[in-house]
Chains A and B, each alone.
Chain A
Amino acid sequence: MTRVANPRRPSPGAPRPYHFPAFERHALSNGLTVWLVPLPGRGLVNVHLLADAGASAEPEERAGVAALTAQVLVTGTKRLDAAAFAAATERLGIEVSSESSWDSARAAFQALPEHVDEGLSLLAEMVREPRLDADEFERLKAERLADILQARADAGRLAEEMFLRHLYAPDSPYGRLSAGTPESVGELAVEHVRDFHATHWGPSTAHLIVAGGFDPQTVLRSAEAHLGSWSGGGPGHRSIEARPAGGRRVVIVDRPGSVQSELRVGQIGIERDHPDYFPAIVMAAVLGGVFGSRLNLRLREELGYTYGAHASFDPRRSAGPMISRAAVQTEVTAPAIRELLAQLDRLRSEAPSPEELAEVRNFMIGVFPLRFEATGGVAAAIEPLAVYGLPDDYWQTYRSRIEVVGPEDVRRVAEALIRPDQLLILLSGDASAVRDAVEAEGFGPLEVVAAPS
């Protein structure tokens, strides 16, 4: 990627300084933490209520209960049934979302400033006095089961699910999607959702984040009025052990007739508080995080094997996966894997040139103000502070922590985190068309499995 500067190229002006918006944090008497990020002049407000009620808070035998609880929450309150609750919120131009991930659950909405108090009142009613009606539960459970069917028909989503299943040990929760499996969701009953809500949606482990155009005193009074007397909630999340299922392997998930193979190559990555978090995310960006990344340049811009190749970590409280991804045409499946593996090896063995690294770092640093252009981006940026307890100056110091990552840091974390003996090489594709060529490459012991249905 080194190139001679073109004399015609304009040189940049002086950058205007940019700082992540200042925020305030308050604790209500019931333990609820309130984060306020006033953005004067904005015509919108984002409200996110986070609960320690993600999949890491559910017992493994109820896998999927956190996700289903979040979904059932929006089907009304003791006072308003599902239709009445939808009408009451949407009349204000508000669409309430409620969903969960591994590490938290989030009920949220975006509104014009004049509707924030009423919206917050309805959101509070929803989390404090939800209806959790049996009929709505059964409907959403059936929808969730059908969603899983739909996801498994999609080559990319099938590969994602199967990658996790083959990467983590069978008793490691991270081997499944956070929303559960058909088997586990099928066993859930409305009582489980009611129990989960009663024990995990409570103020002492919850965070209210409000960002946008509002007066902080007014919103704080709203929060106190609507959520100040909220009580309940119990134990938080469990600790999850992220253990691998085995060593280096090749798994082909058979999808007869596929014209592409969805490749997923990787291993268990890092937890969110890993000491090498910053060098690791820079390393992933060099590999597959920008257009000029090594994977994309080689697999797309030189070989034309794919529409795009990417790599990323998925850091959670425990170690989520690090995955390289590309959808390649069926005929080139074996050489595409070979090329992808060669890029992983190269990253481990030689440090990137200062110029290559500078391009990636400059992107991550320079794009900083763009990430927080919209109020939703600002509210989302507070979430890792709330969920993972990152320091208040996290975003103030973010750019300088990227800036100091050097070429040898990238090589060192690549060597430490990309482990050839641990790589899982998985694809969903037409086994009859790709198996022989992939096997002949000797990437590792190979197994062909049927797609689950």
Chain B
Amino acid sequence: MPEIAFERHRLENGLRIVIAPDRAAPIAAVNLWYDVGSKHEQPGKTGFAHLFEHMMFQGSANVEKGEHFALVQAAGGTLNASTWLDRTNYFETMPSHELELALWLESDRMASLLPAMTQEKLDNQRDVVKNERRWSVDNQPYGTWDEKIQELLFPEGHGYHHSTIGSMEDLSAASLEDVSAFFATYYCPNNAVLTIAGDVEPDEALALATKHFGPIPANPDLPPPPDLSLDARLGAEVRETVADQVPLPRIYLAHRAPVYGSPAFRAIEVAADLLAAGRASRLYESLVRRGQLAQDVVAFPFPIVGGASIFALWATARPGTGHERLETALLAEIERLAVDGPSDAELERVRNLYAAGNASGLERISERADRLSMYTCLFDEPERINAEVSDYMAVTADQVREALSDMARPDNRLVLTYLPAEAPAGEPQADGEADR
């Protein structure tokens, strides 16, 4: 994998800019990270950072409602945005001759969102977001899992205690005043990173970025980051059982984990792959294939930086497998890896899978742009993009063993079990047979 070349700049208003030219295809990516996510939300305002992200597509001083999407798509571009615990990102991938359109659109809403805000737009997007929540959480089998893990793993008052999608009640309470205050506080150049990647000439790209973003004033009163420090461990095992409309039991194991960006996080990432990436992984081989206890198994740490991250693992029980038996088998496999560590062959396997997966992810300039923004926003070190593979490769068997045994202790473990609920009260209505 050749190094990804980039250059860094900082405008007077504090906007950090990364430019990563690659002329292979006539495509350019624009990616903005705002250093604000659901961890910044105040009590009673859960879900607001994400609702605000929706409002960013409702127009700005020179852009009509819906026009951001319409203009980018009519130019042959793709676009979206997402909100998560630590951050909110906005991104466009454009035919390169339309680069300036994307920069102008992003700058117009960073400079002048508020004049376009109306109660009607807020009410509309509140309804849309409530439907997003119904679709992704409330009407979804096992849909509450990450909300529950966050709630049980982090204490009340911690920024990770609530989910990004937020509660229906808090979404109902969001007001236009909240939109104004949130915009004024967080949507400013000194709280953002702009990455431009792909088919661009760096000087031209910088000139365009300066032209459109340069005049936007900084927020001199940017609040300090929230205090997210907490104990590295839960303190005691936490167990919860959820009755849900699901046909098969599923067990979620979660731990407070080392923060993203630390060497220990890397070791946990390797441990997750040893456990559950690919058919030769320990859990797939022992629980899915050989033991036939599980239907599937998935494990990964969340790349988040606020005090602790989350290691999550789940396994769905095969019909006829008791969830207690599945839990015992899961814990035994994790314990075995934590005590003995991986073999050289296992490390070689996950390293090569990682190298291929990394090359695949970085094929897209949009992904490169997003990672450059991320590393700059979280660590002020965009160069980390070129160390991903070597950092992963450098993790040793001992480091895996140490990090896993340190994290996966019973007093740092959450066991969340979903069990099939009884059918809801009342007979299902049916005129006819489903099976014709």
Contacts and interface: CB of A to CB of B under 8 A. Distances in A.
Contact of A359 (B70, B99, B134): B70
A291 B65 contact: no
Contact count band on A:
35 or more
B331 interface: no
B433 A449 contact: yes
A90 B247 contact: no
A290 interface: yes
Contact of A259 (B62, B138, B430): B138
B432 interface: yes
B429 A305 contact: no
A3 B435 CA distance: 51
Interface string B74-103: 111110000000000000010111111101
Contacts of A44: 356, 359-360, 363
Given A90-B353, A292-B70, A8 B62 contact: yes
A366 B76 contact: yes
A436 B407 CA distance: 54
Given A142-B318, A170-B436, A327-B134, A449 B430 contact: yes
Given A153-B245, A307-B132, A146 B318 contact: yes
B432 A447 contact: yes
Given A18-B25, A374-B360, A291 B124 contact: no
A367 B278 CA distance: 33
A329 B134 contact: yes
A29 interface: no
Contacts of A449: 430-434
B71 to A, nearest CB: 8
Interface stretch (A225-233, A250-258, A384-392): A250-258
Contact of A358 (B69, B74, B98, B100): B74
Contacts, number: 260
Interface in A128-145: 136, 139, 142-143, 145
B352 interface: yes
A12 B98 contact: yes
Interface string A295-309: 001001111111100
Given A86-B280, A90-B278, A12 B131 contact: no
A12 B356 CA distance: 36
B359 A258 contact: no
Interface string B13-49: 0000000000011110000000000000000000000
Contacts of B123: 304
A1 B69 CA distance: 12
A304 B124 contact: yes
A253 B140 CA distance: 16
A357 to B, nearest CB: 11
A112 B365 contact: no
B141 A153 contact: yes
A240 B348 CA distance: 47
A149 B27 CA distance: 43
Contacts of B279: 74, 82, 86, 90, 95
B131 A306 contact: yes
A154 B363 contact: no
Contacts of B280: 83, 86-87, 90
Contacts of A139: 289, 292
A43 B368 CA distance: 15
B406 interface: no
Interface in A15-65: 15-18, 41-44
A448 interface: yes
B98 A376 contact: no
Contacts of A9: 62, 71, 101, 104
A63 to B, nearest CB: 14
Nearest to B104: A10
Contacts of A170: 436
Interface in A92-117: 92-95, 110-112, 115
Interface string B200-227: 0000000000000000000000000000
Interface string B174-217: 00000000000000000000000001000000000000000000
Contacts of B66: 1, 291-292, 297, 301
A213 to B, nearest CB: 10
Nearest to B124: A304
Given A146-B319, A327-B134, A329-B131, A12 B289 contact: no
A275 interface: no
Contact of B70 (A1, A74, A376, A435): A1
A82 B359 CA distance: 27
A349 interface: no
B270 to A, nearest CB: 14
A257 B424 CA distance: 7
Contacts of B124: 301-304
Given A15-B95, A87-B349, A3 B67 contact: yes
Given A153-B245, A329-B131, A449-B433, A13 B74 contact: no
B246 interface: yes
Contacts of B78: 367, 370
28 contacts: A10-B101, A12-B97, A15-B26, A42-B363, A86-B285, A87-B349, A93-B351, A93-B354, A112-B359, A115-B356, A136-B289, A142-B319, A146-B295, A162-B434, A291-B66, A301-B128, A307-B132, A363-B76, A365-B76, A367-B76, A368-B76, A369-B95, A370-B95, A374-B360, A432-B426, A448-B429, A449-B433, A453-B247
Interface of A: 1, 3, 6, 8-10, 12-18, 41-44, 74, 82-83, 86-87, 90-95, 110-112, 115, 136, 139, 142-143, 145-147, 149-150, 152-155, 162, 165, 170, 253-254, 256-260, 290-292, 297, 300-307, 327-329, 358-359, 362-363, 365-370, 373-376, 431-432, 435, 447-453
Given A9-B62, A12-B101, A90-B278, 18 more contacts: A1-B70, A6-B63, A9-B104, A15-B26, A16-B26, A74-B279, A86-B279, A90-B279, A110-B356, A149-B247, A150-B295, A292-B66, A359-B70, A363-B76, A370-B77, A447-B431, A448-B430, A452-B435
